[in-house]
Amino acid sequence: MGGTGHSVFFLLYVLCVLWTLFEAESQKTSDCARWCPLNSRCVNATACRCSPGFTSLSGDIFTNLLENCDDINECGPPLAVSCGKFADCQNTEGSYHCECSPGYQLASGAKTFKNESENTCQDVDKCQRKPRLCKGRSICINTQGNYTCRCPPGLELNLSDPNVCSDVNECTSGQNPCHNTTHCLNNIGSYECRCRPGWKPIPGSPNGPNNTVCEDVDECSFRPPVCHNSTVCVNTVGSYRCRCRRGWELKPGFQNKQMNTTCQEMSFPAWTEPPGIKSQRLSNFFKKVQVLRRDFKPALAQDTIQNLITSVDELLEVPSDLDALALPERHKMATHLLSELERVLRTLAKAMPGASFTYRSPLNTELSLMIQEQGDGYTTIGQSHARMLLDWAVAAAARDSDPTVMGILSSWKMQKLLANASLELDPETKAKLKDLHQSPVRGAQYELLSAVNLVFLSNTNTEHLDSPVTFAFSHPMKTPGPRQGLVCAFWKSDDRGGGHWNTTGCWTRGTSNDSTTCQCSHLSSFAVLMAHYDIEDPKLALITKVGLALSLVCLLLCILTFLLVRPIQGSRTTVHLHLCICLFVGSAIFLAGIENEGGQVGLRCRLVAGLLHYCFLAAFCWMSLEGLELYFLVVRVFHGQGLSKCWLYLIGYGVPLLIVAISAAVRHEHYGRSLYCWLDPEDGFLWSFLGPVIFIVLFNAVIFVTTVWKLTQKFSEINPDMKKLKKARVLTITAVAQLFLLGSTWVFGLFLFNPHSWVLSYTFTVLNCLQGFFLFIFHCLLNKKVREEYRKWAGWVTGNRYSEFTTSSSNQTQAHRPSESGM
């Protein structure tokens, strides 16, 4: 039964194969499998064979209907056909071939080959290829199978395109390929080193375009000369400058030290008369200067300098109308003369041919000049009156290649012009002196010891020097006394053209027998002064204040007494009263306003000075009236009343008003001084006070002597039995009272102009301050009637009214001249 099952299966199978074979046979041959897939051919009715280059899973021949024939990769394993060197195997459908690698080709020119043995692959020269592979200036280099592009020197391959070369800027690449005497010039692919302007290649040095070494060209050696013949050529590194020759100055419109500088012969600088000074002598001097100016030749500059100095000497020497000039005018002229001399001498020195020059005039004015191209460190210059030590850099005008000039002119004659100018001490010195003397210094008088030394340099900017200049000034030996000192001062010009001595920025460094060493941080005209310090005496100031205060109180009491005490009313009391009023007002103004704060003379100070002038003059006029009254009282006692009230007021208030009015009209600017609000002694202005005072004092002295003499006579006539002792006492007291009253104490004041008589100063101060006190004593306290009145007042105040009657009754018994000396 199983046999039948197999049989059926087998049968079906056979039928199927048969059908297949039939089918195949029906295609080609009858014994060919008709199902052979692509790339295969039938072997027989049941088997196929893959075409060459193809294979199936079960090999070349297969019988399985489901198999296919696939391409064999001959290039890959396991066959891995070797094509040989420089060649690559290329698999194709059913076959393969060999090809030369890129950059190679077969010697025959064929493209492919089959067998290693046919390999004739060889390198081709890529650099011959068109278009060129390496572009621009790059150079192609053939390699085995490849090429590279190289760049010529100075170029480098562009990073983004290796076939292109770009330029390298050697000049900015930081390597500084050129010598520092040249400057670098970049070219495409190279660079050059060119000499800087004004330089030339050093002969014999490497002279390639990229290694040149240069040196400065000395343009000054050129022919024809590069500079104008009025100038001197100065070679500089890389260039040159033309500088005026000695004795020549710039032509207008040109600048110094340019290449085109042109100069003209130096001329004497213009020097004109200071305006506002009328002096024939000064005009003559300027006429001489004009002649010197006209005849000036740089080559003869030294002669001109000598003549100029002699002319200045003459101007100052002979007594002339210069002596008549007022002080401010003299100082104005001195300032002008000093500053202009400095300017003119500086210019003339530059024209001077030599290197140094010293001249001593017949009148002992001495000039020392030095002119030098270059210098270094410290330099000394000087003559017998003055020497100077200074840093060269200070003398030379900044960075100037002009020759440097230094000079000192020492003139004794100049002293006369600069005398009696004020001396302003700097705060530092004042502070030191205050420490030394334990009291503030108000100011200083002085005496000029040395010559006036005018110092000048090329450098005109000498207000603040970088390093101080040291001087030694000769002067006659003099030992400073107490409250004195040697001071180095300089002449400081002010805005109004005048000037004064100033010590700011100058220090006295030391002094020997006959010279003083000074150090100054600026330049102008210097001198050594012997200063007499005006040191405020605190004791004197205190005495003045206390005395004046006491005086004021006493004067007030006097005024009240003279106004209110009826028994003594009369012509003499009126005089007393107005004297006291004038003194009171004067003293009060003095106490309140005499000191001038701030040093500036303002309206307040002028007013105070004017009022003081008026009050004290009025006081003196009333004093003279006292004298007159005394005279009338004693000498003309039986001949009626003295002067009428009208005359009293006219003399007492009118005369001083007239004097002050005239003074103010003539010289109102002399009211007020920098320290005190009093009259300025300049021009003798003080005599508008001293004159009347002296006249009145003398007048009163005469009256005093006459009166005392007459009194002596009268006492002996009227009172023959009076004891001699009492007579003498009364006389003495009256005389002393009159002495104070009539202002004789002011006689002491006349000696006050000598600031060193301290005894006199004290006496004067004490006596004058206490004048009111004395007036009170002599005219009130020592007057019997006044005393009685005081007693009455005192009683009235304490409630005792009986005394009033006693006094009034005694009043009626008084003599017809109530004010007649009650002593």
Ligand X SMILES: *[C@@H]1O[C@H](CO)[C@@H](O)[C@H](O)[C@H]1NC(C)=O
Question: Is 47 one of the binding residues for ligand X (CB under 6 A)?
Answer: yes
Q: Helix, strand, or coil here: 436?
A: helix
Residue from 53, 103, 403, 407 that binds ligand X (CB under 6 A)? 103
Residue from 26, 205, 229, 806 that binds ligand X (CB under 6 A)? 229
Minimum CB separation of residue 156 from ligand X in Å reads: 8
d(CA 772, CA 580): 7
Q: Which residue, among 579, 333, 338, has the nearest Cα to 455 in the 3D structure?
A: 338
Question: Is 513 one of the binding residues for ligand X (CB under 6 A)?
Answer: yes
Q: Which tokens hold the place of 632?
A: 């009338």
Question: Is 800 one of the binding residues for ligand X (CB under 6 A)?
Answer: no
**Cβ closer to ligand X: 299 or 563?**
299
Q: Helix, strand, or coil here: 178?
A: coil
d(CA 182, CA 197): 9
d(CA 414, CA 421): 13
Question: Is 35 one of the binding residues for ligand X (CB under 6 A)?
Answer: no
Question: Is 427 one of the binding residues for ligand X (CB under 6 A)?
Answer: no
- Contacts for 689 with CB less than 8 Å, ≥ 6 apart: 613, 616, 617, 679
Residue from 142, 258, 320, 415 that binds ligand X (CB under 6 A)? 258
Minimum CB separation of residue 772 from ligand X in Å reads: 33
Beta bridge partners of 59: 56
Stretch that binds ligand X, among 39-47, 273-281, 563-571, 804-812 (CB under 6 A): 39-47
**Cβ closer to ligand X: 496 or 636?**
496
Q: How many CB atoms lie within 10 A of CB 611?
A: 18
Question: Is 58 one of the binding residues for ligand X (CB under 6 A)?
Answer: no
Question: Is 166 one of the binding residues for ligand X (CB under 6 A)?
Answer: yes
Contact 804, 793 (CB under 8 A): no
Residue from 92, 115, 283, 810 that binds ligand X (CB under 6 A)? 115
Q: Could you please report the per-residue DSSP string of 416-443?
A: HHHTT--EEPPHHHHHHHHHHHTS-EEE
Minimum CB separation of residue 27 from ligand X in Å reads: 17
Q: Is the dihedral of CA 469, 475, 478, 483 positive or negative?
A: negative
Counting Cβ atoms within 10 Å, is residue 415 exposed (0-12), middle (13-18) or buried (19+)? middle
**Cβ closer to ligand X: 76 or 102?**
102
Question: Is 210 one of the binding residues for ligand X (CB under 6 A)?
Answer: yes
Beta bridge partners of 116: none
Question: Is 505 one of the binding residues for ligand X (CB under 6 A)?
Answer: yes
**Residue 461: half-sphere exposure toward Cβ, Cα within 13 Å:** 7
Amino acid at 17: V
**Cβ closer to ligand X: 128 or 420?**
420
**Cβ closer to ligand X: 193 or 625?**
193
Residue from 260, 280, 283, 467 that binds ligand X (CB under 6 A)? 260
CA 235 to each of CA 203, 216, 460: distance values in angstroms, whole numbers, following the listed order:
20, 9, 27
**Cβ closer to ligand X: 6 or 464?**
464
Tell me whether strands 386-391 and 378-382 are parallel, antiparallel or unpaired. antiparallel
Binders of ligand X among residues 319 to 358 (CB under 6 A) are 327
d(CA 740, CA 775): 8
Stretch that binds ligand X, among 40-48, 336-344, 565-573, 773-781 (CB under 6 A): 40-48
Minimum CB separation of residue 641 from ligand X in Å reads: 48
Residue 541 has phi, psi (to 5 degrees) of -60, -40
Stretch that binds ligand X, among 203-211, 534-542, 661-669, 691-699 (CB under 6 A): 203-211
Stretch that binds ligand X, among 45-53, 312-320, 391-399, 744-752 (CB under 6 A): 45-53
Minimum CB separation of residue 71 from ligand X in Å reads: 17
Q: Quick one: residue 124, left, alpha or beta (phi over 0 = left, psi -120 to 50 = alpha)?
A: beta
DSSP state letter for 525: E
Q: Which tokens hold the place of 528?
A: 């050594």
Minimum CB separation of residue 117 from ligand X in Å reads: 5
Residue from 20, 27, 44, 757 that binds ligand X (CB under 6 A)? 44
d(CA 581, CA 6): 181
Minimum CB separation of residue 342 from ligand X in Å reads: 16
Apex 380 CA angle, 476 and 257, nearest 5? 135
Minimum CB separation of residue 575 from ligand X in Å reads: 38
Place of tokens 């009343």: 641
Stretch that binds ligand X, among 253-261, 542-550, 631-639, 803-811 (CB under 6 A): 253-261
**Cβ closer to ligand X: 80 or 794?**
80
Minimum CB separation of residue 559 from ligand X in Å reads: 40
Residue from 20, 142, 158, 744 that binds ligand X (CB under 6 A)? 158
Minimum CB separation of residue 395 from ligand X in Å reads: 20
Minimum CB separation of residue 521 from ligand X in Å reads: 9
Q: What is the CA radius of gyration of the chain?
A: 63
CA 736 to each of CA 691, 731, 762: distance values in angstroms, whole numbers, following the listed order:
24, 9, 19
Minimum CB separation of residue 632 from ligand X in Å reads: 42
Q: Which residue, among 704, 692, 736, has the nearest Cα to 626 in the 3D structure?
A: 704
Question: Is 164 one of the binding residues for ligand X (CB under 6 A)?
Answer: yes
Minimum CB separation of residue 47 from ligand X in Å reads: 5
Question: Is 512 one of the binding residues for ligand X (CB under 6 A)?
Answer: yes
**Cβ closer to ligand X: 438 or 513?**
513
Stretch that binds ligand X, among 501-509, 572-580, 705-713, 769-777 (CB under 6 A): 501-509
Residue count, binding to ligand X (CB under 6 A): 38
Residue from 60, 112, 254, 706 that binds ligand X (CB under 6 A)? 254
Binders of ligand X among residues 367 to 426 (CB under 6 A) are 419-420, 424
Binders of ligand X among residues 3 to 32 (CB under 6 A) are none
DSSP state letter for 81: -
**Cβ closer to ligand X: 108 or 180?**
180
Residue from 2, 3, 78, 253 that binds ligand X (CB under 6 A)? 253
Minimum CB separation of residue 646 from ligand X in Å reads: 43
CA 359 to each of CA 303, 309, 352, 807: distance values in angstroms, whole numbers, following the listed order:
10, 9, 13, 92
Distance of CA 7 to the CA centre of its chain: 140
Minimum CB separation of residue 590 from ligand X in Å reads: 25
Minimum CB separation of residue 124 from ligand X in Å reads: 10
Q: Which tokens hold the place of 431?
A: 């502070």
Amino acid at 59: G
**Cβ closer to ligand X: 682 or 820?**
682
Residue from 102, 152, 481, 602 that binds ligand X (CB under 6 A)? 102
Q: Which residue, among 365, 774, 721, 719, has the nearest Cα to 554 in the 3D structure?
A: 774
**Cβ closer to ligand X: 148 or 379?**
148
Instruction: Point out the residue whose Cβ comes nearest to ligand X.
Output: 166
d(CA 40, CA 266): 126
Helix (H) or strand (E) holding 347: helix 327-351
Residues belonging to the chain? 823
Contact 71, 79 (CB under 8 A): no
Question: Is 73 one of the binding residues for ligand X (CB under 6 A)?
Answer: no
Minimum CB separation of residue 82 from ligand X in Å reads: 10
Beta bridge partners of 529: 448, 487
**Cβ closer to ligand X: 520 or 583?**
520
Binding site for ligand X (CB under 6 A): 43-47, 102-103, 115, 117, 145-146, 158, 160-161, 164, 166, 180-181, 208-210, 229-230, 253-254, 258-260, 327, 419-420, 424, 492, 502, 504-505, 512-513
